[in-house]
Structure 1
Amino acid sequence: MSAPTTNIPVSVPAGQRSPAPSGGRGGPGTGPATIAGSLSGIPDARSVVTRLLHGTPGRMRVLGLVAVVAALVVGAVSVSALLGAQAAVDRAATNTAQVVRAQTMHVELLRADALATNAFLVGGLESPQSRAQYEAAMSAVARGISEAAAAQPADAEALGALSAQVQQYAALVEQARTNNRQLLPVGAQYLRQASAGLRAEAIPTVEAVVTANEKRSRDEFSHSSSVVLLVLGALALAVLVYVAVWLARRTHRYLNRSLTGAVALLLVGLVAAAVTVGNISRDAQAVDRGSYTQVKALADVRTAAYDARAQEGLGLVARGQSGDSEKAFTADVREVSDAINDVTPRQTRQSLGEQWSAYTTKHGEIRAADDSGDWEQAVGLATSTGSGSATATFTTFDTTASNLREDASREVAASLDGIGGRAPWIALALGAAALAAAWLVLRGFAQRLQEYR
C-alpha cells in the first residue's frame, strides 16, 4: 500500500524544483515538504517579547504600563474613599436610627410599668385616661419592635425574644388588674412578678440591642475617614512621579507635558478626595459628639426617671416593705442626675435639673407619709393628678425631656442626611479624571518611544 499524501499546497521559492517524495523521481534523500517546516522562519512569541522589552525602549514600555496602572489605582482609591466614606455615614445613620428606636422601646416599657403600678394603687378605680396611656405605651413598644426588625435584620433574633417577653409581661399585668379589681391580694404578687420579669428579661434585651447598634454606629463613624485608601492612593501617585522622573532623566528632557499633566490631574483629584473625605469624617464626628450624644443622654434620663416612678409605686404596693424599691429609686435618681449633666446647653440642663428636683421633693413627701404609717395618704399623694402633685411634676419633667429628645433625634437624622451629599458627583468626576490621566500617560510614553524609531 502506498504512503498517504497531503493535498495542502506548499509554496516553493522561485528557481527551485519541487521536492519529490522519498524514493521518487526527486532523488534520494529528499523528504516531503511539511507545514511545520514552512513556518520555521516565523519568529516565536518569546523572541517578539524579548525584542519589545529589550533596551531603553523596552524599559519604557514596561514603566509606561506601570504608570498607567498607577494612574488607574489613584483614581480607583480616590473614588472608593469617597464612596466608602459616604456609605459609612449612611450605615451610621441606619444604626443611630435603630438606637433611637430601641431606646424609645426602653422608655415606653418602663413608662407602661410605671402607669400600671400607679393604676394598681387605686384598686379597681383605674381611670380610662390611665388605661389609655398604658395601652398607648404598649402599642408603641409593639410598633417599635416591628419597625426595628424591618430596619436591622441583625437584631431580628433579639427582637423576637423581646416580643415574647413583652407579651408575657402584658399577660401578668392583666392578671394583676383582674385580681386587683376583685380586691384579691394575689394581684400584688402578679404585679411584682410582671415588674421583676420586665427588668430581668425584657429590659436587658432592649439594652443589648441598644449596645449592639451603638457599637455599629461608633465603628461606622470611625470608618468614615478612609485613611488607608487615601494612603494607598498617595503611594500610587508616588510611583507615577518616580516613573516620570526616570523618563525625564533617560530621555534628557525636563518636561513631558502629557505625563506632567497626568500627575497634576491625579494630584488635584487625590487632594479633592482627601479634603472631601476629611469633611465627611469631621461632620460625622461632630454629630457623634453633639446631637447624638444628646439623644442618648435624654433617653437615659427618661428611662431612669420612669424606673424611679415605677419603683415609687412598687414601694407603696409592698405596704411597709419598701426598702428594696426605695434603694432602686435612689439609684435611679443618681442615674437621672448624671444623665442630665450630659445635656446641653447649660440653661436646658439647669431647667431639666430643677424640674427633676421638684419631682423628687414630692416623692420625699410620699415616703414621709408612708414611713409614718399613713399609707392611704401616701397613695393619695402618689396617684393625685392635680396641680403641684407628684404626677403633675413628673409629667412636666418628662414632657420637657421628651421634647428635647425628639428635637435632638430630628437633628441627628437631618445632620447625617446632609453629610457628603456631593460625594457621588465628586467621585464621578475623579473617575473621569483618572481615565484622562491614564490616556495622557500613554500619550507621553508614545511620544518618547517614537524618538527611538
Structure 2
Amino acid sequence: MTPVDTDVRIFAASSPGKLLAMGMLLVLICLTAGLTTSDEVGGRQDALRTLLADSEPDAYSAHSLYTALSVADAAAGTAFIAGGIEPQPVRDRYSQAVGEAAAELVARSGHSGEPVDGPDTTLRTGIATGLPVYTGLVETARTANRSGYPVGAAYLSEASNQMQTVLLPMAGDLHEHRSAAVVQAQRDHVRPPWKAILLLTVALLALLWAQRELAHRWHRTLNPGLLAASVLLLALFAWTVLAGSISAVAMVHGRDEGAVPGSRLTESRILVQQARAAETVKLVRRDATGDYDRTYAAGVTRLGELLDGYPPGAPAADDIASARAALERWRAAHQRMNDTLNRGDWAGAAVVATGNGTADSAAQVEALDTALEHAVTETRDRLRDEVATALRVLNLLAPGAYLIGIVVAVCVVLGLWPRLREYR
C-alpha cells in the first residue's frame, strides 16, 4: 500500500473525513431529490399540455368526424324519401355534414403524434378514401330518384351499407383510440409522484440522521445550516404533496364531470344518427322484415338508458332534460309513422318521417341532436377547464423544486463548513 493510500484511509477514518463524507452524501441526496421532483412535475405539466393541445382535441375531432358521417347518412335517406328534388334544408344538411367530415380528416391529420404508418393514420386514410365512393353512390341514387328510376333505392341502400359497415366502424375505432389516450393521460396524472415523494423522504431522513450524528459524535445539538435545509425540504415535501393532490383532484373532477358524461353523450349522439338512418332507410327500401325497426328500437332503448343514467352532478342538466323530452316525442312520431305505413299510406308515413311539423320525426331528431350537442360542448368545456386548473396548480412547483434543491445543498455546505474548519 502506497503512502498516499495510507493517508487517504487515515483521513477517511478521521472525524473531518467522516464529516466531509457526510456533507457530500447530503448534498448529493438533496440535489437529487430537488432535481427529480422538478423533472417529475415538469413531465406531468408536459403531459397536461399535450392533453390540452393534442389528445383531447384529437378525441373531439374523432367524435365530430363520426357524428358528421352519421348525420350525412341519415340526411341522405331523408332527402331520398322526399322524392324528386329534395328540400334545400335537407340537401344543405347533407352537404354540410360531408364537408365537416372532410374538414376533420384534414384538420387533425398529423396532430396526434401518430407515425405515418400508424393505425390512426391508416384509419383516417381509409375514411378519406371511402368517403368519395360513398358520396358518389349517393349522387347516383339522387339522380336516379329525380328521374323516377326505382334503381335509386338500390344505390342509396348500397351507400348506407358502405357507411354502416366500412366508414363508421373505422371512425368508431379512431374515436376509441383517441379517447383511450385521454383516459390514459388522466389515469397517469392521478397517480402520485412516488419517486419524488420517496426521494424527498429519504433526503429528510438523511438530514435528521446527520443532525443526530452531529449531536452524538461532535456534541453539536443544533446546526443552523442543516436545520434550514430540513425546513426547506419539509416545505418542498408539503408543497409537492399539496399541489399534486389539488392537481389530481382537479383531474378527477374533469374525469367525473367532463370525460365520463362526455363519453355517454358522444355515444348518445351516435345512437341518434344510427336510429335515424334505420328509420329513413326502412322507408326508402319499403322494408317489411322488421330489421330496421329492431335496429331503431335497440338504438333508442340504449339512448334512453344513457340519458336516464346521466350523472346527476354533471353539467348540462337542462340539455339532458330537453333531450329526454325530444326522445319521447320522437318515439311517438316513429310509432305514428309505422301505424301510417301499416295502413299502406307510404306517402303519409314519409311526411311523418321527414315533414316540417313540430310533431314529426325530423323535428324531434334535430331537437334531440341539438340538445346533445350543447351538452357535449358543456362537458368538454368542463373537462378542459379542470385540466387547465390541474396544470396551473403545478406552474411554480417545477422551478421551485429545482431552486430549493440547490438552496438546500448550499445550506448543508454552510452548516458543515464551520465544523470542518475546526480541524484545521
Q: Using a 3 Å threshold, how does the CA distance of structure 1 residues 279 and 422 change in structure 2: closer, same or farther? A: closer
1:292 and 2:259 equivalent?
Answer: yes
User: Residues 433-452 of structure 1, C-alpha deviation per residue, up to 9 Å, x if partnerless?
Assistant: 21111011112222222223
Alignment RMSD, CA only? 2.0
* 1:243-322 alignment, distance < 5 Å: 243-322=210-289
User: What is the SS of the residue equivalent to 2:395?
Assistant: helix
TM superposition score normalised by structure 2: 0.91
Q: Using a 3 Å threshold, how does the CA distance of structure 1 residues 318 and 416 change in structure 2: closer, same or farther? A: same
- Quote the residue 2:414 is aligned against: 443
1:388 and 2:359 equivalent?
Answer: yes
Which letter maps to 2:346? W
1:111 and 2:71 equivalent?
Answer: yes
1:84 and 2:55 equivalent?
Answer: no
Quote the Cα distance in structure 2 between the aligned partners of 1:273 and 1:98. 31
> Which shows bigger deviation, 394-403 or 346-355?
346-355
User: What is the SS of the residue equivalent to 2:109?
Assistant: helix
CA drift at 1:136: 0.5
Larger Rg: 1
1:175 and 2:135 equivalent?
Answer: no
Quote the Cα distance in structure 2 between the aligned partners of 1:143 and 1:118. 23
Q: Which of the residues 119, 127, 141 maps onto 2:87?
A: 127
Which letter maps to 2:296? F
**8 Å Cα contact 1:89/1:284 also seen in 2:** no
CA drift at 1:400: 1.7
Quote the Cα distance in structure 2 between the aligned partners of 1:223 and 1:114. 39
CA drift at 1:366: 0.6
- Quote the residue 1:199 is aligned against: 164
Quote the Cα distance in structure 1 between the aligned partners of 2:38 and 2:149. 70
**8 Å Cα contact 1:248/1:254 also seen in 2:** yes
Which letter maps to 2:339? A
Quote the Cα distance in structure 2 between the aligned partners of 1:49 and 1:173. 89
User: Residues 384-405 of structure 1, C-alpha deviation per residue, up to 9 Å, x if partnerless?
Assistant: 1123222122222222222222
Quote the Cα distance in structure 2 between the aligned partners of 1:158 and 1:243. 60
User: What is the SS of the residue equivalent to 1:421?
Assistant: helix
TM superposition score normalised by structure 1: 0.85
Quote the Cα distance in structure 1 between the aligned partners of 2:223 and 2:211. 8
Q: Using a 3 Å threshold, how does the CA distance of structure 1 residues 209 and 177 change in structure 2: closer, same or farther? A: same
**8 Å Cα contact 2:253/2:386 also seen in 1:** no
* 1:34-73 alignment, distance < 5 Å: 46-47=5-6, 49-73=8-32
User: Residues 237-280 of structure 1, C-alpha deviation per residue, up to 9 Å, x if partnerless?
Assistant: 32333233223322121111111111111111121011111111
User: Residues 208-231 of structure 1, C-alpha deviation per residue, up to 9 Å, x if partnerless?
Assistant: 122212222122112224432222
User: What is the SS of the residue equivalent to 1:452?
Assistant: coil
Quote the Cα distance in structure 2 between the aligned partners of 1:170 and 1:239. 70
Q: Using a 3 Å threshold, how does the CA distance of structure 1 residues 49 and 300 change in structure 2: closer, same or farther? A: same
CA drift at 1:78: 2.3
Q: Using a 3 Å threshold, how does the CA distance of structure 1 residues 62 and 266 change in structure 2: closer, same or farther? A: same
Give unpaired runs (5+ residues) of structure 1.
1-42
Quote the Cα distance in structure 2 between the aligned partners of 1:145 and 1:235. 51
Quote the Cα distance in structure 2 between the aligned partners of 1:120 and 1:223. 49
Quote the Cα distance in structure 2 between the aligned partners of 1:78 and 1:317. 64
**8 Å Cα contact 1:74/1:266 also seen in 2:** no
- Quote the residue 1:19 is aligned against: none
Q: Which of the residues 201, 224, 228 maps onto 2:194?
A: 228
Which letter maps to 1:116? A
What is the percentage of aligned positions where both structures have the same residue?
23
Give unpaired runs (5+ residues) of structure 2.
115-119
